[in-house]
Structure 1
């Protein structure tokens, strides 16, 4: 294993796996820290955690456990992957995990770069944009768990880390790898070893990746990995043939627990022509809706692939959180979707499209999936994946990824149909 990656959620890890697989690396995504050694032909191993919104101390402990396993696999470089919208709070978890990983690896500098231009995420003058809007004006300021109310990554990260936060501006990035590396070194020597790096184009990410060839630790979104396969290829370390992919035409279902703007658009579009069942948080909390009832409904549908969703608008979510408690509500809904997935698969479903990071993590954990092989790209940042130990094909989608027709497209790709993602 050459590159060891730690993802703070399951959909983000799939996003990273997609980037590395497109770059020509043989990638396996592990669901949690494996209990034994990885497969011998894996070039990039990604340990997908469910640590984004847990208490910082727990996130640090999980991340260090993942790091120790990856070190044991012989990895030469490490990458901490978080969301391209930098989902976190002033307490963490991004900063505390960066500090812990740097200390364990003996790394004296690292970069922070969640940019992903293909999905509209860019960094300019240290500020994170979503399309043409500042992050804090993109809708992410209403996120129920990690409301992003400041687009200045330096200012948002500062209270999370015990180290100084530096910055490499776009004007330097445009000059290429050597200039970027010199600037990173300069920031580290000035006492700012956690360095936010601007990026507005894929070319910038490639240059940053090449500049980071000898960095022990990188941190960022999946875009930061664009230039990494070429670094290993230049040393003749990569196999020449990618892994093969075949889909399945078996029974399918869609589960959506994301409240993002795009996912709500996708739900509305899909429900225009296919069966859809809304899961209402209040009804789940008082026992009026159950996984058994949802699965029973799904198995009765003969007019298209059923969609089971809980994707309310932010105000409705906030009101439900106030009634039942944020953590209690989130845990109950995740448990609902995990049990629903288990029952669907037990009933013969072999294709699952899952929307939402927390929901995807709950489903993967609920199904006990230990490792996922990476298939073709469905949309930027979203690959098809296959369980390593059973006939189950999945899509794990972050909330805001994909276009309005994503659900239908994903079902086709999991079936084996060609799609130019």
Structure 2
């Protein structure tokens, strides 16, 4: 299996995603552009790699976005070395398109500092914007649209109130500068539009920039930044950014005739029933749950605050699992959820409960508990399509299922399509799963997943 015959042979790209939903978004962009990609849930074994020989991109999903710098120091270097050993033309550290990070949680600066000794780049491209996702960067400032209205990120209704990493600065140079001591430069849209991107990059490098942020606002600037990244891959083999990196590379490759226009992506058949688990606090997910409740889904509240006590949490897992199976037995699709938006009182209750506890441990317990609920419901009911919502939740939840890899099979919406699970357990092999970041998907998203994207088509 190949794709992109005008490009160099072998592996084009390897990536690590700092959360599972973001990791899968890279796979989706590449696969539906005609470049086969596979996402592993851990460093793959030689036997697992052999199963996907000929693929053009290989990713490893992680949970760095919700983790501490100490966790990163322990876990990221071995993954970086494994990615480096794959011999790809470019390695990508995939972050959220809303730059979720802080010096203490999901530090992108720390991830860069740990990567530099492994990949030894002369400089590091930083491309976060993705117009396909309604994410734009102008003069270093990141913007995101909600319901057709563009917001600077520090005024964004969700990101400015994010429960873990609230955004109080839209200039990514300033925000990232709180996480690393490396000098950060910028190639801005004025230089790109004037055809001076190379000169602007050279000037920033002359001034000592080790990281260079790239403005993207439209198709022209997207392709131009894709060219900058691709042409610099020998001196800058490590890039940081959202799936905008892949959108940019593909835009450049297509402009050069290296990759053909892809056929329309496939759709999935309609499912008789699906199961959803959500640890998302996003208002978008809340609206999706509320919309689904009016379309035959059964929202089931999960008390995440109980996760501070393993025994209480085990009982909550049993209760929630039983409630989900009851809903399925009565013809309704269950949505096991921990919150309805950032202002849900459950969020404050959870934060109060974890005060004085190790937050990483409790967050992991919540995510894996949701995965345990999902696993038990799928096995007991025979349901073959499911959704895990919430970027921080998806990693822990998906790992609890025992899946080792995903491939993209059916398009639903950018960043949240349907994937095929690959697992050693025959009961899970072939499971169809969607990993949805909090802000991804239309209000009808859960019904779209059940219907195989027919509503979105």
TM-score of the two chains, using structure 2 as the length reference = 0.84
CA RMSD, Structure 1 to Structure 2 (Å): 2.6
Alignment of 1:361-380 (within 5 A): 361-380=395-414
What SS does structure 1 have at the residue aligned with 2:417? strand
* Superposition deviation, residue 303 in structure 1: 2.8
> 13, 33, 39: which is aligned to 2:43?
33
1:361-391 deviation per Cα after TM superposition (whole angstroms, max 9, x unaligned):
1121101211101123211222211112302
Q: 1:119: which partner in 2? A: 133
Q: 1:4: which partner in 2? A: 14
* Superposition deviation, residue 296 in structure 1: 1.6
Q: 1:403: which partner in 2? A: 442
Q: 1:223: which partner in 2? A: 244
Q: 1:276: which partner in 2? A: 299
Whole-angstrom CA distance in 1 between matches of 2:280 and 2:64: 17
> 157, 174, 178: which is aligned to 2:176?
157
**Alpha carbons of structure 1 residues 392 and 285: separation in structure 2 relative to 1, 3 Å:** same
| Counterpart check, 1:337 vs 2:376 | no
1:172-202 deviation per Cα after TM superposition (whole angstroms, max 9, x unaligned):
12245xx323322321221112011111123
* Superposition deviation, residue 284 in structure 1: 5.5
> 204, 210, 220: which is aligned to 2:227?
210
Contact 1:248 1:351 in 2 (8 A): no
**Alpha carbons of structure 1 residues 223 and 237: separation in structure 2 relative to 1, 3 Å:** closer
> 301, 316, 322: which is aligned to 2:352?
322
Whole-angstrom CA distance in 1 between matches of 2:337 and 2:60: 27
Whole-angstrom CA distance in 2 between matches of 1:384 and 1:158: 36
Alignment of 1:93-172 (within 5 A): 93-131=107-145, 132-138=150-156, 139-172=158-191
Whole-angstrom CA distance in 1 between matches of 2:199 and 2:117: 22
Q: 2:27: which partner in 1? A: 17
What SS does structure 2 have at the residue aligned with 1:52? helix
TM-score of the two chains, using structure 1 as the length reference = 0.90
What SS does structure 2 have at the residue aligned with 1:382? coil
Contact 1:49 1:62 in 2 (8 A): no
* Superposition deviation, residue 272 in structure 1: 2.0
**Alpha carbons of structure 1 residues 327 and 40: separation in structure 2 relative to 1, 3 Å:** closer
What SS does structure 2 have at the residue aligned with 1:145? coil
What SS does structure 2 have at the residue aligned with 1:6? strand
Contact 1:26 1:243 in 2 (8 A): no
Contact 1:247 1:393 in 2 (8 A): no
Unaligned runs of 5+ in 2: 1-10, 424-428
1:73-106 deviation per Cα after TM superposition (whole angstroms, max 9, x unaligned):
2211111110011011134520121222233112
| Counterpart check, 1:290 vs 2:290 | no
Q: 1:308: which partner in 2? A: 336
Equivalent residues, number: 416
Contact 1:6 1:63 in 2 (8 A): no
**Alpha carbons of structure 1 residues 228 and 345: separation in structure 2 relative to 1, 3 Å:** same
* Superposition deviation, residue 231 in structure 1: 6.1
Contact 2:24 2:435 in 1 (8 A): yes
**Alpha carbons of structure 1 residues 232 and 75: separation in structure 2 relative to 1, 3 Å:** farther
* Superposition deviation, residue 23 in structure 1: 2.0
Whole-angstrom CA distance in 2 between matches of 1:237 and 1:406: 30
**Alpha carbons of structure 1 residues 171 and 241: separation in structure 2 relative to 1, 3 Å:** closer
* Superposition deviation, residue 255 in structure 1: 1.0
